[in-house]
Amino acid sequence: MRNTLKDKWFEVTNFFLGAALAWGAIMFSQHANSAANAVIVGTAIACFSVIGLWRYTAWAEWSNLILGGWAVAAPFTLGFGEVQAAVLVHLFIGLCVVTIATIQLQKRWSRRTRSLASQ
């Protein structure tokens, strides 16, 4: 997938979602696991999105897909399911990141198969 202007909004959106997750850790700082996870995962999502803005690579999207999935699973895996704000933020941002990464990977796959079919 070429990194065109119309495709960059995915990366910009993921960057802001990652930054929101990292900065949202302040909101639920009373629970150390949720705050640490939010900072680490949010920062990683934002960094992979910057890499995607600089040069599109499929591994950056796969990384965001995995990180978004982890953000969804983390409240239940790390045991901060009782902190409602942390759960909602992790679920919302995680699902958004997974959706965007899936759309980008699907677009890449469909372009690749179309180019192979035209040969």
Output the 3-class SS for 18-69.
HHHHHHHHHCCCCCHHHHHHHHHHHHHHHHHHHHHHHCCCHHHHHHHHHHHH
49, 15 Cβ separation under 8 angstroms: yes
pTM: 0.84
User: How much of the chain, in percent, has pLDDT values that exceed 90?
Assistant: 52
User: Which residue ranges make up each domain of the chain?
Assistant: 5-117
Reported as a single tens digit per residue, the pLDDT across 1-48 is 455 545 788 899 999 999 999 998 888 778 888 999 999 999 999 999
DSSP 78: T
